[in-house]
Each structure stands twice: as C-alpha cells, then as structure tokens.
Amino acid sequence: MRAAHAKDLESRTELEALLRACVQDVKHEIGLQRQQSAGGKGGSFGASAASKHREVGLGDFGPQERERVMELLLSQERVVTLLYDRTFPDRPHDLLPGESGELGEGEELGLDDLGI
C-alpha cells in the first residue's frame, strides 16, 4: 500500500514538473514575441523597454497560450504514458511473451482484446 502511494505521488510530481516546464516554455515564447513586436515599433527606450523586460505571468495566458501548453505537454511520450497508467492502472504494459502484437490474416481485433 505504501509503495503504491509513493508511486502515485512520484508520478503526480513528475507530471507537475513536466507541466511547469511546458508553462515556462510558453512564457519564454510570449517574451520573445513581445521583444520582436517591441523591436519592430522603433525600439524607443521609454515604456516599451520596460514592458519588454516585464515578467510574463499566467494572467497573460489567453486561450491560444493555454492550448499551446497542452500541445507541448501532450506531445511528450512520458506524459502520455503516465496518464495512460493512471487511467488504466490494471492494464499490462507489454504483450505476453510470444505475442507479436500483429493480427494474422482473417483475424479481427475485438473488444475483449482491448480490455473493454
């Protein structure tokens, strides 16, 4: 029971770390976009220089930025594996020895094969 709890906490913290990394990547992208847009306006040293270096917060995230975070997160194989493991905890990860995973001629994949 303790081992299962520890594994659950470990996977949760790993997912949280991966999410934080994706949020940081999107913040960096927003910062770069702001620098490019401020540079194209003539590059004055007044308020635009201060806004160029302003910290990007989560409040600056619109729907597009939030979607970008999810795209980055779900593009990582480790994230998909962790989510799958948490969604289907009793599912075996690998095929049984001797199973190739390919369907033979005339074979169909049924719901029993999918564990449904």
| Pair 34, 52: CB distance under 8 Å | yes
CA distance 92 to 23: 32
Q: What are phi and psi of 79, to 5 degrees?
A: -65, -45
Residue partners of 47: CB distance under 8 A and separation at least 6: none
Domain count, the chain: 1
Please report whether residue 26 resides in a domain: yes
**Where would I find the beta strands (DSSP E) of 25-102?**
none
Please report whether residue 96 resides in a domain: no
pTM above 0.85, yes or no: no
Residue partners of 5: CB distance under 8 A and separation at least 6: none
Please report whether residue 106 resides in a domain: no
* Domain hosting residue 64, numbered range: 2-90
**Where would I find the beta strands (DSSP E) of the chain?**
none
Degrees, nearest 5: CA angle 78-68-32: 115
The residue among 106 and 75 whose pLDDT is bigger is 75
Length of the chain, please?
A: 116
Q: What is the pLDDT of residues 26-74, one digit of tens each?
A: 999 988 888 888 876 655 444 444 444 567 888 878 899 999 999 999 9
* CA distance to 51, 81, 83, 90, 105, per residue, from 9 (Å): 39, 15, 13, 18, 44
Please report whether residue 27 resides in a domain: yes
